[in-house]
Structure 1
Amino acid sequence: MSAFIRYQIISYVRSLKFIPPVVIFFAWVFILYAYKNVPILSSYAVSSIVMYLIMTWITMSIFTLDEESEKHILISHLKRKVSYLFGKWLTILIVMIPLLLFAIFFPIITDSFKGNMSIQLYAYAFYSHLVFMAFGILVGTLFSATKLATKKYAWLSSVFIIVVSLASKSIIEISLFFKWILWVFPPVFKVIGYMEGEDQVLINTPVIIDSIFVVSYLIIGAVMLVPLFIKKES
């Protein structure tokens, strides 16, 4: 597996497909912290949303690295199709680590925040970014590693999912009927809903319940993607 991951990282770097999403991410973060004394949580909320978009992009790029013939050879070497999927996910996680660290620590190093960081703020900042990265990986995998990847508008469909999930709060306000439809979309507001207002995080019952829901959503989503991937490759 380690050799496969190393091969994937080298292939991704050589393909230069990492340049557009990474450059856009760095540029966005630089612009976000161009001014000093910005609020902590709302700024991290914005960078988390950006990570959602970027990780979807990176995931789809990494899953489309291999030609079909090359993919079959790699799967035969790995012995199991699911190992190929997990190897791709691990590759994506390795790629996302420097982006995560940059998003968290750049504003701290440049002293851009108007307040001081606390353990709770650090914890929730890492949590929000990791969750939104995971959302991006799920969406990207759905539209690049399942039968939906063969559809003509896979990229547009992934953008649609992202836009609807980010607009879900406003959509539900139009009609409660949409609440029963939008639960299948990534529950972004169960994370960034607590990043509005003052720069403090209260670890209370609603936060814990929503966090459990979000983690459960991610686990169920990942589990459901496995048979969808295997079905595509069968």
Structure 2
Amino acid sequence: MLISVLKYNFKMYMKSHKYIMPFFIFIIYMVMAYSIRLLDIVGSMVSSAAFLFALMTWIGFTYCSNIELIAEEVLILKLKSHTRYWVSKIIFMGVVGVFFSILSVGLPIIYNLICNVFKYPVTFSDIVVSFIIHMFLSIIGALIGMLLQPRIISNRKMAILGAIFIVLMSIIKGPVINEVPYSKYVMWIFPPINEVSTAYLDLMHFNIANLIMPLIIMIIYIFIESFILIKRMKKVLF
């Protein structure tokens, strides 16, 4: 049943054409980011993951807009659970995030084989860790977008400003904490992009050991976001 629902979500998403603009922006970013030679692989991949986080926030935001209520009711009846329905949507956004993560990591690696984009040889750990970081940050971004959907925040201008604010604060969290140390007691609420970049600060390559703590934080963050989304949507219903 889950596979059927995912296929339905994919079909409806493709029919909506909401993916066109984000994909176009993604291609532009990739061309601009990797048009320069001899890049630092850690810095470029962390920047790429931060960009994908922002892009998936946009995708999650638009994905939950203009949902057909009748089709949603039918799916919920078939699944016999609001929880299963929203879990299927979260999984679908996860699949979209995995797709963009593969492109975000794979395209530069392939291009590097042709043109030597990076300063140092790319290791297996670089590929694996980069993909994991992209994937988890993309899911976190998508969930933020889903939490700002019309049935939760009806004022769309406020929702858009909220999305921009969250993305911006997530990206600049590190510099803000450095300038105002006490802000760390508030800034922890924003997605852990800074935790990822700090873990590999001044390193030439990614490694699994440094990923453990940021990965735990990202998993907890995803769990909390999913829990809040499902609880909220079960409350507002239609």
Query: Do the two structures share a fold, i.e. TM-score over 0.5?
Result: yes
Aligned counterparts of 2:28 and 2:197: Cα–Cα separation in 1:
22
SS at match of 1:34: coil
Letter in 2 for 1:232: V
Q: Single out whichever of 212-221 and 5-14 deviates more from structure 2.
A: 212-221
Q: Is the 8 A contact 2:57 2:142 kept in 1?
A: yes
Aligned counterparts of 2:235 and 2:105: Cα–Cα separation in 1:
38
1:65 deviates by 4.6
* Number of residue equivalences: 232
Give the structure 1 partner of residue 96 of structure 2: 95
Q: In percent, how many aligned pairs have the same letter? A: 23
* One of 200, 203, 225 as aligned partner of 1:221: 225
CA 1:17 to 1:56, structure 2 compared with 1: closer, same or farther past 3 Å?
same
Task: List aligned pairs for 1:43-192, cutoff 5 A.
Answer: 43-111=44-112, 112-144=117-149, 147-148=152-153, 150-152=154-156, 153-192=158-197
TM-score normalised per structure 2: 0.88
SS at match of 1:70: helix
Letter in 2 for 1:13: M
1:22-55: CA deviations, max 9, x gaps?
A: 1101110111111222111111011101110111
Q: Is the 8 A contact 1:47 1:103 kept in 2?
A: yes
SS at match of 1:201: coil
1:137-180: CA deviations, max 9, x gaps?
A: 221121127623x2332122111111111111222233333211
TM-score normalised per structure 1: 0.89
1:186-205: CA deviations, max 9, x gaps?
A: 1211112234434223555x
Aligned counterparts of 1:210 and 1:172: Cα–Cα separation in 2:
17
SS at match of 2:199: coil
1:85-127: CA deviations, max 9, x gaps?
A: 1111122222233321111111111112221111221222112
Aligned counterparts of 2:152 and 2:102: Cα–Cα separation in 1:
33
CA 1:98 to 1:211, structure 2 compared with 1: closer, same or farther past 3 Å?
closer
CA 1:211 to 1:31, structure 2 compared with 1: closer, same or farther past 3 Å?
same
Q: Is the 8 A contact 1:121 1:201 kept in 2?
A: yes
Structure 2 unmatched ranges of 5 or more: none
Q: Is the 8 A contact 1:52 1:135 kept in 2?
A: yes
Aligned counterparts of 1:142 and 1:27: Cα–Cα separation in 2:
27
Output the aligned Cα RMSD: 2.1
Aligned counterparts of 2:168 and 2:122: Cα–Cα separation in 1:
30
Letter in 2 for 1:176: P
Q: Is the 8 A contact 2:56 2:145 kept in 1?
A: yes
Letter in 2 for 1:225: L
Letter in 1 for 2:20: I
Q: Single out whichever of 64-73 and 163-172 deviates more from structure 2.
A: 64-73
